[in-house]
Amino acid sequence: MNKNDFLLKLKEYAGKDEGERLYHYYLEIIEDRLEAGEVEAAIIAGFGDVNKIIQEAEATRKVRDFEEKPRLSTGVKALMAVLLVFASPFVLAIGLPLVITAIVLVVVLFIVLASIVISFFAAAVAGLLSIIVGIVTLFTTPAVGLFQIGTGLVGLGIGVLCCFLAVKLTKVALVGLKKLCSSIIQGFMKKRKGGVIDEN
């Protein structure tokens, strides 16, 4: 690689400002060493791989950008701490009831779903008992026994079907609740990470 190719690749690197800085930095070094009598090919070879130079410049730029990020002054930090102390009663007054309400709603949802499953299970058990009673009654009064067995079969079928649907509904509700809680927690964590400011 000759001088022009080397410098052109540096100049094209990572946007205009950084590329110009690298270009002029290495151009000055090359010209000084050429004036000192060194061979162009040896100078370029001595710099090493141009891609490695670009990677190192990129890493240096990132460190510099991080160090140049604006930071809060001590006075602003103290003001924020004071505001946080004074705002905490309001946050607790609003946030605590919201958390309690959310917990109560979740508990109520579980109670409702459990009661639905239990009631349908009870209907299935009642249908099964009706079939048993119908079989016993069949020997004394056949018409009543057949009626009892028929209603027991209908009750058992409806109870089992509804119990199965209620269990499926409970699983869907639990998965949805898990996803909702997960998304709320992830959103909260992202906000916290976004709001963290370097204290140094």
Residues 6+ apart with CB under 8 A from 134: 144, 145, 146, 147, 148, 149, 150, 151, 152
- Per the CB < 8 A criterion, the answer to whether 53 and 1 are in contact is no
pLDDT tens digits, 11-68: 776 555 666 777 788 888 888 888 888 888 888 888 888 778 777 777 777 776 666 5
The token pair that represents 166 in the structure block? 């209620």
| Amino acid present at 165 | L
pLDDT confidence bin for 195, thresholds 50/70/90: very low
CB 156 within 8 A of CB 124: yes
Q: Which of 43-47, 60-64, 100-104, 146-150 has the lowest mean pLDDT?
A: 60-64
pTM of the predicted protein model: 0.41
**pLDDT-derived band at 183, boundaries 50, 70, 90:** confident
Residue 197: predicted pLDDT: 43
Write down the mean pLDDT value for the chain: 77
Question: What is residue 177's three-state secondary structure?
Answer: helix
Q: Residue 83: is its pLDDT beyond 80? A: no
Q: With bands split at pLDDT 50, 70 and 90, how would you rate the model's confidence at 166?
A: confident
Closest CA to 137 of 120, 150, 149: 149
More confident residue, 54 or 156: 156
SS (H, E, C) 180-193: HHHHHHHHHHHHHH
Q: Region 87-95: what's the mean pLDDT? A: 67
Residue 70: predicted pLDDT:
59
The continuous run of DSSP H or E covering 136 comes out as helix 74-138
Helix, strand or coil, per DSSP, at residue 12 = coil
pLDDT above 50 (res 200): no
Of 163, 137, 162, 161, nearest to 149 (Cα)? 137
